[in-house]
Amino acid sequence: MADQAIISLNKSAISARLDVAKLAPVIEQAYQAASSGAINLPPVGHIVLADHDGDCHIKYGHQLGDDVFVIKVATGFPHNDPALAPPNNGVSLVLSATTGQVVAVLHDEGLMTDVRTGLGGAIASRALARPDASRVLVVGTGVLAPHQINAHRALFDRPLDIAVWGRSEQRAQAVADANSGLRVESDLAKGCAEADIIVTITAAREPIVRDEWVSPGTHITAVGADAPGKHELDAALLDRADCLVADSASQCIDHGEFSALAHTSRIVELGAVLDGSAAGRTSDDQLSVADLTGIAAQDIAIAKAVLAS
C-alpha cells in the first residue's frame, strides 16, 4: 500500500502563500460556481460549546470535477483572553475526491477564513458600488478590519480614501495606526453620509447604521451578521435598497442581515451578478446592499489555492 504523504502547513507557511490580488479571481469563480450549482455544498455543521460560550462551524463541499474536497473547521470563542488564545481559530482538511485519503491539513488558525472574508467583501464592493466610488467607511475595528482594508485596496484600480469608525475611538485609532493612509472617523452619521462604500464588520445585535444617514448611490457590504439575532443595518435601509445581493440566499435569509427582510424575492446571488446572469446596480443613484455570511465555496477555493501555490 502506498504511504500517505500528508502535507501539513502551519499558519506562517499558509500566510506566505496567501496573495490577495491573485486570490481575487479564485474567490470570484467560487461565488459563480456556488450560485450556478457547480459545487456540492451540504448543510453547514454546527456545535455549541456552551460552558465557554464558544461554537464551531464545519463548512465543507466539493466543486464538481475537482480531485479534492475540503472540510473547513472554524471555532469562535469570543471570551478568550487574546494573550492566551485567539478568539477565532480553525483548521482545514483537504481530502482526495478520488480515493478518500487525507491530502493536507492546513493549520491556518482561522487566517484563511479572515482572508477569504476580506476578499468577499472587496469583490462585492467592486461589483456593486458606483464606478467612481472611492470613499470607503469601515464600520468596526475587529480582526476583520485589516483584511477588509487590504482586500479593498488590492482589488480597486484606483486609490481609495478609507476611514474607520469604532464604538471605541481608541481601537479605531489603533486600526488606523496599523494601516497607513487610514483616517479615523469619529462621527458615524457623517461618515455614512459621505461614504460611497460602507463596509460593516461588527458583531452588533441592534442595527448600527441608520437609514437616514445613508445617501442615494451608496453601496453597503454587510459582513458582520453571521448568526441569528445579529443585525447591523436598519430594516428601513434594506426595504429602501434598490439592489439586494447575498453570497448565499438561503444562508442570508436564515441567519444573515437579510433575515430581517419581510420579502426575500428580490435577493439575487453575488455569483449570479458576477457571471452576468443577474443584475446588480443599474444606475448611479441606486442603493445597493450585499449581505455576506461566508460560504464553503470560498473555503474550498482558498484551501485549493494555498495547496497549489
Query: Which spans of this chain sit near a copy of itself (rule: CB under 8 A)?
Result: 1-2, 4, 6, 8, 40, 42-43, 45-49, 51-52, 54, 56, 58, 60-62, 64-65, 69, 71, 73, 75-77, 80, 82-89, 91, 93, 95-102, 105, 107, 109
Give the span between the Cα atoms of 155 and 306, in whole angstroms: 19
Q: Please say which residue, 57 or 126, places its beta carbon nearer to a copy of itself.
A: 57
Least Cα distance to 30 among 93, 112, 145 occurs for 112
Give the span between the Cα atoms of 121 and 219, in whole angstroms: 11
Q: Please say which residue, 84 or 262, places its beta carbon nearer to a copy of itself.
A: 84
Are 202 and 142 in contact, with CB atoms under 8 Å apart? yes
Please state the closest distance from residue 67 (CB atom) to a copy of itself, in A: 9
The contacts of residue 101 (CB under 8 Å, 6+ apart) are: 4, 95
Least Cα distance to 201 among 260, 122, 267, 271 occurs for 122
Please state the closest distance from residue 250 (CB atom) to a copy of itself, in A: 17
> How far are the Cα atoms of 24, 154, 259, 278 from residue 159, in angstroms, in the given order?
18, 10, 34, 28
Please state the closest distance from residue 108 (CB atom) to a copy of itself, in A: 10
Q: Please say which residue, 64 or 178, places its beta carbon nearer to a copy of itself.
A: 64
Please state the closest distance from residue 65 (CB atom) to a copy of itself, in A: 8
Q: Please say which residue, 55 or 211, places its beta carbon nearer to a copy of itself.
A: 55
Q: Please say which residue, 67 or 285, places its beta carbon nearer to a copy of itself.
A: 67
Work out the burial of residue 171: count CB atoms within 10 Å of its CB; fewer than 13 is exposed, 13-18 middle, 19 or more buried.
middle
Please state the closest distance from residue 234 (CB atom) to a copy of itself, in A: 32
